[in-house]
Chains A and B, each alone.
Chain A
Amino acid sequence: MHIAEGYLPPVHAAAWGVASAPFVVHGVRALTREVKANPESTLLLGASGAFTFVLSALKIPSVTGSCSHPTGTGLGAILFRPPVMAVLGTITLLFQALLLAHGGLTTLGANVFSMAIVGPWTGFGTYWLLRRSNVPLMVSVFFGAFVADISTYCVTSVQLALAFPDPGSGVLGALAKFGGIFAVTQLPLAVSEGLLTVLVMRLLTQSSKGDLTRLGVLLPSRKKNENAEASA
């Protein structure tokens, strides 16, 4: 999904960089605040970053006959809120830009905007709305991760269409072209990402009930409350 190095005109590259920077700065603050307030979060934060690392390294074949990779940003956004993912996503993108020639430094701003900002926010928003409407946890997690993934690729398509409008059909024509390449390819991958995120969330509900309750993903159980009262 990453826009390759040098493939955005300088003005666009700079504009996306300017748009992304405040989110990343805010994210760094949110991240340090979280680690200071809850040092026991560090492990789960590491695991969320690791999930993004694994998923964005997996190039998976898709129905369009080309390959693409998931983003893995939905999980961390649901657990720790989107600002934290702006940082974890940027780290992943930097790793790929510097070592793998995948994405790039000049296009980092644009790629951060799609994968580390819009993806986590839309994913988290979807999850939050579904939870508010009493949709079961795992269904909400699935759609949260699905939307985080697909929206990332939609933004990439828009970014490329804005930079390279079709000479005949304009920005919309170009959007159809890039959308056909990215968004359609991404559909089955977004389903896979949703299922994998559900899998990890299921494992977390078994292994880390305490963390999930503190983060508000699981409601505190009665037994937990009694324990807390007893220890207080």
Chain B
Amino acid sequence: MSRNAKINTLLLLVVAALAVLPLVLGLGDHKEEPFTGADGEAEAAITEIAPDYEPWFSPLYEPPSGEIESALFSLQAALGAGVLAYYFGLRRGRRQGEARAGAAKEPLVTTGDE
């Protein structure tokens, strides 16, 4: 593995470790429902501070179940990842094409000189 690839892999490993460690160390154990969304907790805090507050507008569309919601979140991530992969693939292909074109040109020039 090249030095570059090693550094990139290391970066990914640290990100993965940061995500997994809270689960492994059981940092959610003090909660009734561990690892819920922070925005849900904020809603709970609002109701605690202002018990009378009623949300005055509700979402136009709400995913009918947690599964559908996860599916839509995955779709969002997949769309983004797809575009990113397209970008880097295209760049790589172009670079290789240019390198090949450059390599193909050079022998032509030298044979012309001979």
Contacts and interface: CB of A to CB of B under 8 A. Distances in A.
Interface of A: 1-7, 9-10, 43-44, 46-47, 49-68, 95-102, 104-106, 160, 164-167, 174, 177-178, 181-182, 185-186, 188-189, 191-192, 195-196, 198-200, 202-203, 206-208
Main secondary structure of the interface of A (DSSP, over half): helix
A167 B53 CA distance: 13
A207 B88 contact: yes
A65 B57 contact: no
Nearest to A106: B57
Given A56-B76, A66-B28, 12 more contacts: A5-B59, A7-B43, A47-B88, A65-B28, A99-B61, A101-B63, A166-B49, A177-B49, A178-B45, A186-B38, A196-B15, A203-B88
Best-buried of A52, A68, A195 by chain B (most CB within 10 Å): A195
Contacts of A58: 77
Nearest to B85: A50
Q: Kindly state the interface size class of chain B when it binds its partner.
A: 35 or more
B62 A66 contact: no
B49 A174 contact: yes
13 contacts: A1-B38, A10-B56, A43-B87, A46-B87, A50-B79, A59-B73, A61-B19, A66-B36, A95-B76, A177-B49, A182-B42, A195-B14, A202-B7
Contact of A54 (B41, B80, B87): B80
A46 B86 CA distance: 10
Contacts of B79: 50, 53
B80 A105 contact: no
B103 interface: no
B38 A182 contact: yes
Contacts of A54: 76-77, 80-81, 84
Contact of B81 (A10, A43, A50): A50
A164 B90 CA distance: 49
A102 B90 CA distance: 33
A178 B42 contact: yes
